[in-house]
């Protein structure tokens, strides 16, 4: 029985499993970062371990998010699916190592012992996840495409997303059932609504307070007031897409929409990281505020988002038509 390979067929598909891991990292980062930001100035052991947990979840989100993006990109470009066994080994193995690091940090937080274990252990496990995960992914690509001619059973084809063709002369627009997932205006509008509703909920229900310099004085406000401005870029892009969709009826490219949305999300996440890094070291109004250089990543992601918007508009196509 020891000669049989483990059965991974019961696991979800690798891409869905990657989304689950990313969501776990996002929730872990959000909770731990909120705890750290609401207890600024504390030097207890549990506080340092919570800060370590926030960093672990944040970089875990980046690592598994990158795995997901390259997984989807390779399948789209090649038009066929990668080997599921290798995909499960990459994601499940990385998730187990990440969960081990999270459990270690949680145990250190509970014991409140600064010498519970080496601080480098979670970072080492995360580095192993990145190196081995990328190695398994490259092996997956080689096994799927380079050695595909030796495999008798062909891989399942991925149906590419195609855009409708341009209208021909003497034709009339064809009515198409609305699909919110193909509408950038709906996608960005939902994201903006999420940040608005979450901000209102935090203002009403969440008792924690976060530092904010206002009028030269350090004050503490509800996290909801800091959460609400994050809806601005999503609302602005949603308005642009809505105006174009309503006035021209054009269909946008899903790949460009996906890149645009991810770039905006990364800009928002980086702005949260900058504030959190400042808030955990803030003890007075004289603390150095983040400068323009600190927001270089935010500006870069926003520039990429604007570029993706322009690309999406250029790649959009007119509505489907039918002969009159």
Q: Do 185 and 152 fall into the same domain? A: no
**What is the DSSP code string of 294-322?**
GGHHHHHHHHHHHHHHHHHHHH-BPPPEE
Q: Do 139 and 202 fall into the same domain? A: no
Domain count, the chain: 2
Q: Does 195 reside within a domain?
A: yes
Q: Do 116 and 191 fall into the same domain? A: no
The tens-digit pLDDT sequence of the chain (324 residues) is 445 545 556 678 888 888 899 888 888 888 887 777 766 666 677 778 888 888 888 888 888 888 888 888 777 776 778 888 888 888 888 899 889 888 888 888 888 777 766 666 777 888 888 888 888 888 887 777 666 545 544 555 555 544 545 555 555 544 444 444 468 888 898 888 888 888 888 787 777 777 777 777 778 788 788 888 889 999 999 999 998 888 888 888 888 888 888 889 888 888 888 887 777 766 555 667 777 777 888 888 888 889 888 888 888 887 765 554
Q: Do 146 and 198 fall into the same domain? A: no
Q: Do 112 and 210 fall into the same domain? A: no
Q: Do 124 and 194 fall into the same domain? A: no
Helices and strands per DSSP (H, E), number in the chain: 9, 4
Q: Do 311 and 193 fall into the same domain? A: yes
Q: Do 63 and 101 fall into the same domain? A: yes
pTM reported for the whole predicted model: 0.51
Q: Do 103 and 156 fall into the same domain? A: yes
Domain CATH for 118: 1.20.120
Q: Do 189 and 150 fall into the same domain? A: no
Which of 242, 269, 256 has its CA nearest to residue 58? 269
Q: Do 117 and 260 fall into the same domain? A: no
Q: Does 171 reside within a domain?
A: no
CB 41 within 8 A of CB 116: no
Containing structural domain, residue 33:
9-160
């Amino acid at each position: 029985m020891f000669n049989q390979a483990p059965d991974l067929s019961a696991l979800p598909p690798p891409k869905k499993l990657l989304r689950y891991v990313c969501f776990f990292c996002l929730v872990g980062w959000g909770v731990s970062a909120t705890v750290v930001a609401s207890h600024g100035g504390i030097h207890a052991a549990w506080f340092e371990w919570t800060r370590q947990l926030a960093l672990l979840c944040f970089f875990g989100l980046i690592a598994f998010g990158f795995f997901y993006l390259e997984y989807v990109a390779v399948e789209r470009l090649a038009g066929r699916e990668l080997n599921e066994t290798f995909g499960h080994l990459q994601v499940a193995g990385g998730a187990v190592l990440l969960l081990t690091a999270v459990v270690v940090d949680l145990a250190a937080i509970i014991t409140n012992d600064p010498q519970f274990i080496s601080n480098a252990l979670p970072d080492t496990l995360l580095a192993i996840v990145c190196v081995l995960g990328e190695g398994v992914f490259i092996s997956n690509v080689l096994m799927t495409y380079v050695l595909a001619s030796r495999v008798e059973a062909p891989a399942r084809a991925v149906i590419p997303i195609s855009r409708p063709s341009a209208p021909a002369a003497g034709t009339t627009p064809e009515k198409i059932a609305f699909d919110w997932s193909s509408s950038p205006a709906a996608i960005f509008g939902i994201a903006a609504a999420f940040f608005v509703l979450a901000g209102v909920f935090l203002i009403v229900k969440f008792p924690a307070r976060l530092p904010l310099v206002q009028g030269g004085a350090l004050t503490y406000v509800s996290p909801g007031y800091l959460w609400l401005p994050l809806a601005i870029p999503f609302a602005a892009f949603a308005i642009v897409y809505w105006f174009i969709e309503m006035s021209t009826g054009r269909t946008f490219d899903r790949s460009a929409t996906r890149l645009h949305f991810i770039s905006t999300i990364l800009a928002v996440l980086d702005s949260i990281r900058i504030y959190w890094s400042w808030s955990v070291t803030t003890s007075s109004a004289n603390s150095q505020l983040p400068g323009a250089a600190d927001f270089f990543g935010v500006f870069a992601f926003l520039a990429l988002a604007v570029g993706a918007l322009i690309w999406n508009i250029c790649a959009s196509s007119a509505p489907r038509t039918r002969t009159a």
